[in-house]
Amino acid sequence: MGAASQVRPRPRAIVLAVSGLVIGVAGWLAALPDLVGIGVTAVALVGGAAVLALVRGKRDAELLSVERVITPAALHAGDTAELHSSVQAVSQGGQRPGRNLNTLTPQDTIPSELLRPPSTKPAESSTPLGGDPHLAEGTTPESLSLETGAPETIALEPTSLETIALADRVDTFATLHPPHRGRWSIGPVRTTRLDAFGLYSRRANVGPLTPLTAWPAVTAVPVESAMGTTLRRGARWGASQQSPDDAVLREYVPGDDPRRIHWRAAARQGSLMVRAEDSGTVTGVTVLLDSALLTAPSASRSVSGLFHQESEWVVEHVASLACSLLDAGYHVRFVATGEPQAVTATQADHGRIAVLDACVDLHGFPSVKAALSARVATTATLAGQRTDNLVAVIPAFSTADCAALAHTVNQGGGIALVIGAHPEATLNALTSLGWNARAVQPTGDHRTAWLSR
């Protein structure tokens, strides 16, 4: 548990030090030893208080324990999580950081956008919260506000934050609202204490950072109804897998047919596993996302012309397709242009985590040239690892790009969802190559978009 301590002089320390120097010099010039002694004492008091503040600041940090629990540990954008942060005084050789934690005012740091219900205006900063027992004095819960470092404050709901301060423990309870996919850090705990003379304030950052990840929101999609084309069962990517033990498996849930229990896999896994299909080969589906549809960091529009909200819809749609395919018993290979490697998911439980984690950090390209270069490299890689089932979520393609995409499928065509302006030429080119292509608007319900004809 690392800690960074900072000691700052207060105005009275500066005044006392300057006064001591002036008195000391005046006494020396006037040959008055008593005045010299007074000046030296004042300066020594300021210097000694600084040394004690540094020592005590490090000791305070070492005598604090920070624990955080976020429930649930995994969540999607738009979900709600509960944070319990506990700062405790840890006894070491009978020593504690002061008489109680009230003199330390520990405050956990929580990104302000996580504390804001979806209908509240966003802000930019992270703000330390909780722990100060004087914060609530004369303040009703309805008027409690979160300082953002800007002139304005953002009112919190009375139930979004609660702090319980005891002599040796401060508990903070907060409701977190991740507004979008992304990663945040909770912490560190910030402590502030004045020395005995009120000359210095000691500020320290205590405890580790706790990561919080919000996956994109997902919707169950009926993938078996692939816009009129049924995905080929038993189809695969790469080498053939003929072993009966390679059947697609998932964990047993109440209501499954006992005759589908795969006893060998159950013995290996230590829990009941059932066959999701009876085919002797694994059904593989490649889900391809052209990241030209996504906005680059700090950009308002993607190189394909989509706004940020539409770009986020695309990520949610791709994540929904991949997770629904996993739930239906398919093996999924998720590929995004510009990403260093594909994500291969083979089980519905752990596979979802891998796919969703990959979707958290997806972003677009800063230029059309970069997007085209990544597209060429990805389609060339897929052409060398042909698949029987491909679902591509793409912007409008040129004729050459359509031909390159068609070479990534072993036989027949894949399924293409074309998003953005002017999709007609792309639809015609892919349809002529045997693909099931359809224009999709990046708004609304994901089930409706998938089933649209």
What local confidence, expressed as pLDDT, does residue 198 receive?
80
Q: What is the pLDDT of residues 274-317, one digit of tens each?
A: 765 444 445 788 999 999 999 999 899 999 999 999 999 999 99
Q: 38-58: string of b/e by CB count within 10 Å (b at 16+)?
A: bbbebbebbeebbebbeebbe
Residue (of 310, 250, 338) closest to 449 by Cα position? 310
Q: Which residues pair with 146 in a beta bridge?
A: 154
pLDDT at 5: 57
What pLDDT is attached to residue 2? 45
The Cα–Cα gap between 285 and 295 comes to 26
DSSP-derived 3-state class of residue 408: coil
Q: In what order do the strands lie in the sheet with 3-9?
A: 3-9, 200-206, 189-194, 107-111, 126-129
Residue 195 carries which DSSP code? -
Which amino acid is present at 413? Answer: G
**Residue carrying structure tokens 């509240």:** 120
Question: Residue 146: its pLDDT value, please?
Answer: 30
Return the CATH number of the domain spanning residue range 64-215: 2.60.40
- Cα 292 to Cα 315: distance, rounded to the nearest angstrom: 12
| Cβ count near 11 (within 10 Å) | 8
Q: Which of 205, 175, 201 is nearest to 109 (CA)?
A: 205
Q: Give pLDDT, residue 331.
A: 87
β-strands 169-176, 200-206: how paired? Answer: unpaired
| Contacts for 197 with CB less than 8 Å, ≥ 6 apart | 45, 49
Burial 76-106 (b: 16+ CB within 10 A, else e): bbeeebebebbbbbeeeeeebbbebbbebbb
Instruction: Please determine, looking at this structure, whether the domain spanning 281-451 carries the CATH number 1.10.1740.10.
Output: no
Domain locations in the chain?
6-60, 64-215, 249-278, 281-451
The Cα–Cα gap between 111 and 153 comes to 14
pLDDT along the chain (453 residues), means of 10: 65 88 89 88 87 70 82 90 87 52 75 76 43 34 31 40 79 91 91 78 84 94 64 48 49 65 78 61 82 94 95 96 89 91 75 91 95 94 85 94 90 87 94 92 92 76
